[in-house]
Amino acid sequence: MSHQKRFLVISRHPPYGSCHARDALDTALTSAVFEQPVTMLFMGDGVLQLIQAQQPAGIQQKNLAATLSALPLYDIEQLYVCASAMQQRGLKAEDCVLPVQLLDSNAIAELIRQHDVVLSF
Amino acid sequence: MMTLHTLNRAPSHAALLADCLNACHRGDALLLLEDGVYCALNSLETPLQLPDDVSCFALEADVAARGLSGRLLANVTLVDDAGFVQLCCDHARSISWF
């Protein structure tokens, strides 16, 4: 019996200043554990989560990027980033801890339409 | 005695950043902490434009946490917690921009 819905998790906040980024990631992982197909989209400051070489021990936090890089192990391989957010911050796909695909705003609007449930953090 | 400004939000909070920079006087210091350290990222499309004679510092632990070591503007000085305290002592007052 299959009760699958397509989930899109949108993550728009930087990694450590608030709990939003961690909440987005926990939600994506939980959905995947329940065998729901999950897509993640990083927009705005959310793309800052993907910067390599994060060392948050000095601020007593867990490394978010380390958990992010485990997403493919949970079969979350549909990973997208907002191209203009990357450009504004001078980041490139090869700067990221994960293989991501860049989307322009039209493609983002289309991506949202392709999902049953959209959760924004 | 001059003023210490602390800023803890990313540059996407453009109005906050503008308010902070506009409020900086010659001789003041700006300390970036928490998500504020992203303001000093050297690859920003619109890089941080410090007012004349305003020195800029960033909290080292927050920089390292976010993977920004080696990615900040050259005119930004890293400080540790002791440096943060020293900056507070060296300035007559401080303003927190959040």
Mean pLDDT of the region B7-32: 98
Residue A1 included in any domain: no
Please tell me the total count of domains within chain B: 1
Residue A66 included in any domain: yes
Q: How far apart are CA A39 and CA B90, in angstroms?
A: 50
Please tell me the total count of domains within chain A: 1
Please name the residue that has the structure tokens 């400080």. B79
CATH at B64:
3.40.1260.10
CATH at A108:
3.40.1260.10
Window 5-64 of B: residues touching A by CB (8 A cutoff) are 8-10, 12, 34-35, 38, 41-46, 60-62, 64
Interchain proximity B34–A17, CB inside 8 Å: yes
Note down pLDDT in tens along chain A; length 121 residues: 567 899 999 999 999 999 999 999 999 999 999 999 999 999 999 999 999 999 999 999 999 999 999 999 999 999 999 999 999 999 999 999 999 999 999 999 999 999 999 999 9
Identify the pLDDT of residue A3. Answer: 78
Query: Whats the size of chain A, residue-wise?
Result: 121
Residues B25-49 pLDDT 10s: 999 999 999 999 999 999 999 999 9
Mutation target for B interface from A61, A88, A96: give the one with most B CBs within 10 A.
Answer: A88
Identify the pLDDT of residue B1. Answer: 73
Are the beta carbons of A62 and A54 closer than 8 angstroms?
no
Q: How far apart are CA A57 and CA A60, in angstroms?
A: 5
Mean pLDDT of the region B2-31: 97
Interchain proximity B43–A89, CB inside 8 Å: yes
Full-model pTM:
0.94
Identify the pLDDT of residue B61. Answer: 98
Residue B72: list chain A partners with CB under 8 A.
none
Q: How far apart are CA A111 and CA B81, in angstroms?
A: 44
- Domain of residue B45, residue span: 3-97
Interchain proximity A48–B45, CB inside 8 Å: no
Q: How far apart are CA A72 and CA B2, in angstroms?
A: 51
The pLDDT-based confidence of B92 (bands split at 50, 70, 90) is very high
- Domain of residue A109, residue span: 7-120
Strand order in the sheet with A117-120: A101-103, A78-82, A38-42, A7-11, A117-120
Interchain proximity B41–A58, CB inside 8 Å: no
Identify the pLDDT of residue A2. Answer: 66
Q: How far apart are CA B91 and CA A59, in angstroms?
A: 25
